[in-house]
Amino acid sequence: MDPAKVQAVIDWPVPKSRVELQRFLGFANFYRRFIRNFGQVAAPLTALTSVKTCFKWSVSAQGAFDLLKNRFTSAPILVTPDVSRQFVVEVDASEVGVGAILSQRSLSDDKVHPCAYFSHRLSPSERNYDVGNRELLAIRLALGEWRQWLEGATVPFVVWTDHRNLEYIRSAKRLNARQARWALFFARFEFVISYRPGSKNTKPDALSRLFSSSVASTDPEGILPEGRVVGLTVWGIERQVKQALTHTPSPRACPRNLLFVPVPTRLAVLQWAHSAKLAGHPGVRGTLASIRQRFWWPTWEHDTRRFVAACSVCAQTKSGNSPPAGRLRPLPIPSRPWSHIALDFVTGLPSSAGKTVILTVVDRFSKAAHFIPLAKLPSAKETAQIIIENVFRIHGLPSDVVSDRGPQFTSQFWREFCRLIGASVSLSSGFHPQSNGQAERANQTIGRILRSLSFRNPASWSEQLPWAEYAHNSLPSSATGLSPFQSSLGYQPPLFSSQFAESSVPFAQAFVQRCERTWKRVRSALCRYRAQTVRAANKRRTKSPRYCRGQRVWLSTQNLPLKTTSRKLTPRFIGPFRISQVINPVAVRLLLPRYLRRVHPVFHVSCIKPVLRAPARLPPPPPPSLSRAHPSTGSVGFWTCVLGAVVIST
């Protein structure tokens, strides 16, 4: 074998860390079946991979390392290339180099043996390639290294790579200039690119990383070039304050070790302590800590709090820890059953007798509910027909319908339908389902009951739904103390036939009077319960600011359908947007831009916060010009501008 073909393995450097040793053993494990007593030969090296022992290179480890390299570059591992049989080229690229192995299946044992190894260190310009071009460069260099065998092969060879996109490179319709040049070279070969996962492509991967230590030692990774020291003794802001003090004397109240900040430079000091890159927009406490190290003026704490509160970057990127804004504003209490109803859908259920959705209809007075199984989410017209057949036919027409902003309830058909029957439409504000709390609470109840009845056979939930509805309507409500049956019908259905004896048919007037007494009792209980609920809810809420038309506010992005690369790095608030209408103390309408035209513009006050007026800001400094001609000029000039510090050559 030509020594140049196996030079990549012969020159394998001695591992200096446990990771480099593990990489070498991973390469060796693929050829252990060709080496007799491989486990005994590699035992000194395997012992060094244990985290329980200190990594210390020994004489026995060096002997095992040299012996394995000798075995890799001699028979029976290596075979002589035969152009009449198929070749396999394994390639991989890292950030510092590329590696490749030319293999062929041996006729003696029908196993894949290596024919040659190849390793190449990337130049500084090649290290700037993206991942796809670096992987393609590995194929280009490997084919060029072994072109005397591959170009004249009678059987098309296979290229194994762990970059899946390269499978389609030969059929791509658009190539950049570099790929087009390489495509002309590839046209001389007959081969197929096949994807191989990285876990099975460790042999060329190990060869591509042979230069990691050498690149790290020759290429400095520091921000500043070698031979430079940054002296952070004279900050630009400190020099600016001292210049201002030449015209303004320092008061006696100023501590001796601090600099008094005159009025013209206070805003610059606040920007330095809060908005500079070295500060990172801290809170009030962090900004105060930075200022008190060197500066002082009489109102520095008050000015700092005001500046931080008005910072637009903090307003957009930080989420507050205070309770949500907006006191509880409950809906009005009805005076009779089924005059005010609430609607909602339960989705995501398994198919049961062809049903996958439940329509929840709740009477806000008696808390009675109907749970209607459906095959799918209905349209607005289908929803109206279902309500007529299952609710209006039994309880009469309501005067108000509460729902969320589903497409069924925001359509023009539904609004016209409710207008014709004389019912007002009450839709929840944007991303605030608490407005439809009656239906949401009923959904939780029906979910709990169905889980208890059908957890062994979830597909039978539709059979258990009538029993779940009866259980919900027959149990007393915590708000009224009466069951929904008793609140709406005036009596509790008996569970046993012997519970009530037969009596004469009561007069209709007596029945109506009994119902009216029950309804008054229920309404009184609802009023007391609402007062208790308001007091309990407001303990966990804060009073919202008083908004007015035309005021600018920030809008929370928690529920907005924004198309972003990373949801974690998306600003917490966007805007600012102007208020076009104050609907009530806890809901406002905003003027949204075109890219949010699908979002309903009415929001609860917990989803917005006001834009605080900030003092006039100083103009930002011009962006520094980064020179790429020489690292000793561009980088230092950049950091001199950013830090405002003295850079001293050594």
At 191, the amino acid letter reads: F
C-alpha span between 456 and 263 (Å, rounded):
74
What per-residue confidence (pLDDT) applies to 498? Answer: 56
pLDDT band at residue 334 using 50, 70 and 90 as cut-offs: confident
CA 236, 242, 248: angle at the middle one, nearest 5? 140
What per-residue confidence (pLDDT) applies to 172? Answer: 76
pTM beyond 0.95: the answer is no
Residue 103 has which token pair?
Answer: 């293999």
Mean residue pLDDT of the chain comes to 79
C-alpha span between 607 and 532 (Å, rounded):
25
What per-residue confidence (pLDDT) applies to 36? Answer: 65
Best CA proximity match to 87, nearest among 109, 118, 117, 112:
112
Q: For 57-81, write each residue's pLDDT tens digit.
A: 888 888 888 888 777 777 567 788 8
Q: 577: which strand partners?
A: 553
Average pLDDT over residues 627-638: 40
DSSP line for 582-641? EEETTEEEE---GGGTTS-SEEEGGGEEEPPP-PPPPPPPPPPP---S-HHHHHHHHHHH
What per-residue confidence (pLDDT) applies to 354? Answer: 92
| Residue 148 pLDDT > 50 | yes
DSSP line for 203-244? HHHHHHTTTHHHHHHHS--SSSPTTEEEETTS-HHHHHHHHH
| Residue 619 pLDDT > 60 | no
| Residue 617 pLDDT > 60 | no
What per-residue confidence (pLDDT) applies to 513? Answer: 66
C-alpha distances in Å from residue 151, one per residue of 92, 118, 144, 179, 183: 21, 17, 9, 20, 15
Residue 353 has which token pair?
Answer: 């007798």
Q: Which of 31-45, 225-239, 412-426, 597-611 has the lowest mean pLDDT?
A: 225-239
DSSP line for 552-576? EEEEE-SS-----S-STTS-SEEEE
Average pLDDT over residues 171-178: 80
The CA-based diameter of the chain, rounded to the nearest angstrom, is 115
Residue 58 has which token pair?
Answer: 């020994």
Strands 424-427 and 400-403: parallel
